[in-house]
Amino acid sequence: MIRIIGLGSPFGDDQVGWRVIELLQDRLDPQVDLVALDRPGAALINWMAGVRRLVIVDALVSGHAPGHTARLTDSDLDALAGGTSSHQLDLAQTLALAGALDCLPEQVEIYGIEIDALQRTGLSGAVADSAVTLAKTLAKTLTDLPVTRVETPNSCSRS
């Protein structure tokens, strides 16, 4: 199975991951599963069961201009770790935990869209534009591929 997860919260630009999911609705093969999650922390792992290819879209604060979109590597994630979360595991730690639990899908792609952390309501213009661009890119990448549902059984439960 292919699953795209938008991570975020209802506050300002932090919604951008959800916006990408919204833009992808009805534009992909129905077998691509679209999920918007509100700050799941380690519970993100519960969404990895049976997934072969996982795409994560999240807001990013890394010093670039708002709207800057990047596909993140492991070292990018490590560099970002620890800055934005307190009681919960951050994304890098959660992926490390998923790896230790043997729950990681075969393919994991993470896209970050730089946000304006001070944006209070709705999405700021540049960020909204980048959401549209990323959604188009993802739609193109994923519709060009033959989508076959591969239920990889693993022991990570989804609740």
Nearer to another protein, 2 or 156 (CB): 156
Q: How far is the CB of 82 from another protein (least distance, A)?
A: 5
Nearer to another protein, 87 or 120 (CB): 87
Tokens of residue 137, six digits? 């890119």
Torsion 7-108-113-33 (CA) sign: negative
**CB-based burial of residue 121 (10 Å sphere; 0-12 exposed, 13-18 middle, 19+ buried)?**
exposed
Nearer to another protein, 75 or 155 (CB): 155
Nearer to another protein, 101 or 128 (CB): 101
Residues that bind another protein (CB under 8 A): 9, 38-43, 45-46, 82-90, 93, 96-97, 100-102, 155-159
Q: How far is the CB of 41 from another protein (least distance, A)?
A: 7
Tokens of residue 81, six digits? 């770790």
Q: How far apart are CA 90 and CA 84, in angstroms?
A: 7
Q: How far is the CB of 149 from another protein (least distance, A)?
A: 23
Q: How far is the CB of 21 from another protein (least distance, A)?
A: 15
